[in-house]
Chains A and B, each alone.
Chain A
């Protein structure tokens, strides 16, 4: 629909890029990777959990899972590195997509330098938006995804999810979630757009960037199709 529309303020609250991979990597490799990550990620947490399928006295490397969570408090960014995936979060204030893409690409490049070339299985781009709802507004005023029901009363809470393959690129699976929620004291709606693309190969950083840019365009299309003209005006004037 209005993919060229530019909002002057943004309802985006969090952006997450995730690369999933099939290879099993050693926890020491993840640790080596974290040592190469920029020092601005000053808060570092290691979490290890044991998955027990037998008696505890029979531990196995297959039954443990380690993950590192690195936080950059100044820039509100998070890296989550664990067995099977690497995620990059940007929370709170908006940052241009290209800047995030460049940083994520550098992080992935560093990761592969340590663990070697990985067999990537999927790529995910997720945008979590929170659309403020004023007292005189209904959900229908703000988003075009609705739950139909036969009851007279307005819903006090709801969570709706729709899932489909994107029409012009069926390799991208879209999940759109609409949930009535609060952000602090502000009432509103979470509009969560999750795009997953199965990959058989991610040859290099340029291919990663190209895939991310394609998914960004899809995200924009789905976002503007999911909101109403009223919401566009709301975030074009505030």
Chain B
């Protein structure tokens, strides 16, 4: 147990560097900004901290919704299936939207955090048909279903 804590502490310390924190993440994770395959992130909380640290310009609404989505991820892992969560990547686009996304054999699945209004869940299928688009406007919406769908493909 104490050894595990020491390792987690070291990982956090490596990522703490402003200059080379991301370099360490890249070195230890071939998928760049992807998440659960990175040994730097021992749990969801560390990952959420990292995303909030990397993207300093997130609005209060985006932070609130991101918290709600991570709560749903955590509940999914704790109460439904600990192995359900899969690696995903994140990106901040020129429209000030935060994207969490997964590219799978079946298509691309996204959660898009608009700065002020809503978050959107989309699945873009590689086959004809089967695309999905849903909007969520409040952190009281059904994020459990959103989390389940995000890791379904």
Contacts and interface: CB of A to CB of B under 8 A. Distances in A.
A87 interface: yes
B22 to A, nearest CB: 11
Contact of A91 (B18, B45, B48, B56): B18
Contacts of B2: none
Interface string A111-128: 000000000000010101
B52 A56 contact: no
B18 A14 contact: yes
Contacts of A53: 78
Nearest to B30: A157
Nearest to B49: A49
Report the interface size class on chain A: 35 or more
B24 to A, nearest CB: 7
Interface string B7-45: 000100110111110011001100000000000000001
Interface string A34-53: 00000000000101111111
A47 B17 contact: no
A78 B18 contact: yes
A91 B53 contact: no
A65 interface: yes
A49 B47 CA distance: 11
A159 B63 contact: no
Contacts of A50: 67, 70-71
B56 A190 contact: no
A96 interface: no
A18 B71 CA distance: 30
A13 B18 CA distance: 10
B96 interface: no
A56 B24 CA distance: 32
A128 B21 CA distance: 11
A139 interface: no
A16 B17 contact: yes
A18 B9 CA distance: 13
B49 A87 contact: no
Interface string A163-180: 000000000000101010
A48 B19 contact: no
Contact of A126 (B13, B71, B75): B13
**Across chains A and B, which 5 residue pairs bring their CB atoms closest together, nearest first?**
A14-B19, A52-B71, A56-B71, A47-B52, A51-B45
19 contacts: A14-B19, A14-B20, A16-B17, A18-B16, A45-B56, A47-B53, A49-B45, A49-B49, A51-B45, A52-B71, A52-B74, A53-B78, A65-B45, A69-B53, A126-B13, A175-B10, A181-B27, A182-B23, A192-B17
